[in-house]
Chains A and B, each alone.
Chain A
Amino acid sequence: MTRNAALKTLALLIAALMALSMFSAAMAEEFQPGPKLGDKLVRQALLYALDRENFILAQYGSTELARVGLAPISPTSWAFPDLSDLNDYAFDLDKAAALLDEAGWTVGEDGYRYNADGVKLELEWLVYEDSPWPVTLSSMAFDSWKQIGVSLLINRMDFNTVANTTQEPPPGEKMFDIYTMGFSLDADPDPSGGLFDYDAFSAGGFNASGYYNEHAQDLIKAGKLEFDQAKRAAIYQEWAKLMNEEVPTSIVAYRSEIWGVNNRVSGLDLGTYAEWADIIRDVTLEGDQILKLGETSFDGKFNPIYSDKVYDTWINKVVFESPIRTSVEGEFVPYIADYELSNENKTYTFTLKEGITFSDGVPMTSEDFYFTYTMIAHPEYTGPRLSVAMGLEGYDEYAAGTAETISGVEIIDERTISFTFKEASPANIANFVYGIAPKHIYDDGTMEGFISHNSEPVGSGPLVMTDYAPSQFILLSANENYWDPDNAVKIDGVYITMVPDESKIAALELGDLDVAMPAANIDNLNAMQAIGNIHVASYLGNGYTFMCFNTLN
């Protein structure tokens, strides 16, 4: 066979394979719930047979430090349902066994359960070892599920492998029964695109459970369109109750955060949605006027449209200022810009407050706003905010190269700018919580030039970065040119050092640190409470852990 002929055969073969795979994809579009986890009764039985309160005691040492999870909405959110409407699946092995009986799984000779087709109730749980809790939880499940006749296979791997196995493969090829992971809840309760949205059940999507419920999908859509907050809350409450009953993915626990704060610090009001820029404004110190803060690590992406690590984001929240921010209650409120909605709620017209200047004294204009937010649409942008630009009208044309600019973004005058979205949604406002960078410093026409400022950020915030050494420390000083003197910080600066978790409490005790957040467990809590010169602040954070059931199995 000549080389050409061989190539032709190969091409034919590939074409045939592609056609076949497209055909099978079309065939598999409707997925059927599986016999095991596709049955709501089995999922509920598994939850009843998992003593989550005991797990919290074993892992965190106190029910003060984590709460049994109920629904995929933060308990501190305005959209959280009434507690009495939710089932907490309190540990009850008899109830679990009864549910399995009802579902048609009977105990065989070997003590394990089988269904009418002789299938054994055997489940595989993907457990990552990067943090200790999935190991604890799955070991507890192994013991208690065995008592109700469920055989559990624990498969240990690293985090990236769990994420990859559950998310990357297309629907129908996700090879797992159960996996667990930690996540954090946004201030906005909109669950679309997340763990519970059937639209995200895809190759690379976040939903791996494959659970489909028409009513739930309708509620998610309705919540995205409803602009009245009371009505919106009612929609999400109904949805949360439904998820609490159906449990395609169960929220294992809501987690608390604990902070040790030196008594020389006052005015430090921490909370789930408290913005760092707000917290720092009210802080006053006795003695030395620099607040010493200990952090575990930073990536060094001090750029509002690139940061994805909590600690990097903190820095960005005090060095930069955003049009919108979250209030203490978790609602989106105007910050350095007021806005109006028009055009059937699709267009947001922002007007920047008067007199805003960057720390170098140059006034902020709508050009800076435009520049920062359209950098997200830059063809070389590789940060996590892509969704912000993609929802804009005219983005597709711009990305395809058929338009010079994004038609949905328009500068109206020096301080006014409008953003038009393809679809109206109350969740769109969440796109404007990222800080504005000065065009005259950041813009050299390239993305490389833009991100070269990552380690020396310049913004309009109350603090400026004066010194930074990667993986060592960050020194922030009060912005002497701050445009809003009434809201300027009262201290000289913040010195943030990278401190290993094990040393945080010792450093607090020695006075090397004023503020630190050690891991929320009872040992750390007790150790901090025993120290005379510090006090403990704790609150329910927006972090949670979940357990996803593959409902196609």
Chain B
Amino acid sequence: MRTYLARRILQIIPVFLGILLILFFLMEHAPGGPVTTMMDPRLTAEQKAILAERLDPKLPIYQKFFNWIGSALQGNLGYSIKHKRPVTALLGDFIGPTFILSFSALILSMLIGIPIGVLSATRQRSLADNAATVFSLVGISMPTFFFGLLLLKFLAVDLRLFPLYGMRDNLLTRNASWLTRQLDVARHTVLPAVVLGLASTASFMRYTRSSMLEVIRQDYIRTARAKGLKEKVTIYRHALRNAIIPIITLLGFWIPSLLSGAVMTETIFAYPGLGKISVDAVNTRDYPVILGVNAMLSLLTLVGALVADVLYAVADPRIKYE
């Protein structure tokens, strides 16, 4: 196991560098540049050229690459062109809210998705199963903005149960206690988390159901039942543990998306996440931010895949890594 881990961690390095190289290459060839969107009519072509050179010096791509890696190793990811703020500070501004939102959405969708998946697998073709299937199809196909606006209309505007936008109401809670402020954040997070969690709830449900259906037809489940084990124990201790393996894969890939943000949800609820920041960065060709965000996410994806592999071994003793 230890050698396996060491090998996998060593493998991450060249893959990560490869991803970075592709990123550099893509940015080099993207049309336009950061100065293109600086639409001040008083800037002449000459002045724009000076600014472009200062913002994104014309260096060979390999040199840019090594410069970036060199300063990244010292914890410096450069300055955002659009926000004139260090990229690390910018990531710091938005990682917290992004994590709170995505993590709430993930927990919500697991708490709902997995039990319903188990339920509909054990009662295949029952009314509950059909209802869950319909729900999951609707959940997967419902456009985020539509569902979001729907919730806003009923729960925020008509019933006034939740706030319309933002992550906290600083005007009301700036002098309140710590707990009140956290509760305020929670209140603001409910609707975006439900909207963000809807599609993943549905896919958790589908994955659990199909994986569970496969497992409960296995011989060892029949043996367990024949031994006279309670149905609950059979299902939740023996079947679910084996059925969960594909879900772990799903989870492994979920880790980066926990931090990548969700543009649509963030936009509808004005939730201060990384998603909108990174899309804006692409639109304005804010190269340092594009690089910083994507480097972070690709590293997390690689680590996520590794964590999933390790979790397999925990969930399934048959899997052993040499």
Contacts and interface: CB of A to CB of B under 8 A. Distances in A.
Interface stretch (A157-165, A233-241, A321-329): A157-165
Given A164-B31, A473-B170, A384 B36 contact: no
Contacts, number: 158
Contacts of B152: 502-503, 506
Nearest to B82: A299
A506 B164 contact: yes
B40 interface: yes
A470 B93 contact: yes
Contact of B85 (A205, A300, A385): A300
Given A130-B283, A161-B31, A193-B44, A467 B170 contact: yes
B139 interface: no
A531 interface: no
Given A164-B31, A301-B83, A380-B54, A503 B41 contact: no
Contact of B283 (A158, A308, A507): A158
B44 A507 contact: no
A163 B84 contact: no
Interface in B255-288: 267-270, 272, 276-277, 283-285
Interface in A290-315: 290, 292, 299-301, 303, 306, 308
Contact of B270 (A165, A503, A506): A503
A551 B284 CA distance: 28
Interface stretch (A224-232, A258-266, A491-499, A521-529): A491-499
A301 B284 CA distance: 15
B41 A498 contact: no
A135 interface: no
B187 to A, nearest CB: 14
A382 B81 contact: yes
B149 interface: yes
A475 B40 contact: no
B164 to A, nearest CB: 5
B16 to A, nearest CB: 28
A108 interface: no
A503 B155 CA distance: 13
Contacts of A122: none
A410 interface: no
B223 to A, nearest CB: 56
Contacts of A510: 157, 160, 164
Main secondary structure of the interface of B (DSSP, over half): loop
Interface stretch (B45-53, B243-251, B311-319): B45-53
A202 B46 CA distance: 9
Interface string A363-383: 000000000000000011111
B270 A469 contact: no
Contact of A299 (B83, B94, B149, B267): B83
Contacts of A204: 35, 45-46, 48-49
B277 A471 contact: yes
B115 interface: no
B170 A503 contact: no
A205 B44 contact: yes
A203 B48 CA distance: 10
B37 A186 contact: no
A230 to B, nearest CB: 24
B64 interface: no
A473 B44 contact: no
A163 B37 contact: yes
B20 to A, nearest CB: 22
A498 B149 CA distance: 17
Given A193-B42, A387-B42, A497 B160 contact: no
A158 B30 CA distance: 11
B149 A200 contact: no
A160 B285 contact: yes
B26 interface: no
A451 to B, nearest CB: 5
A47 to B, nearest CB: 23
A167 B44 CA distance: 11
A218 to B, nearest CB: 20
Contact of A454 (B33, B41, B84): B84
18 contacts: A158-B283, A159-B37, A160-B31, A160-B284, A161-B31, A183-B41, A193-B43, A206-B41, A300-B85, A303-B84, A308-B39, A386-B47, A430-B42, A467-B170, A470-B93, A472-B170, A507-B164, A510-B160
Interface of B: 31-33, 35-51, 54-55, 81-85, 90, 93-94, 149, 152, 156-157, 160, 163-168, 170-171, 174, 267-270, 272, 276-277, 283-285
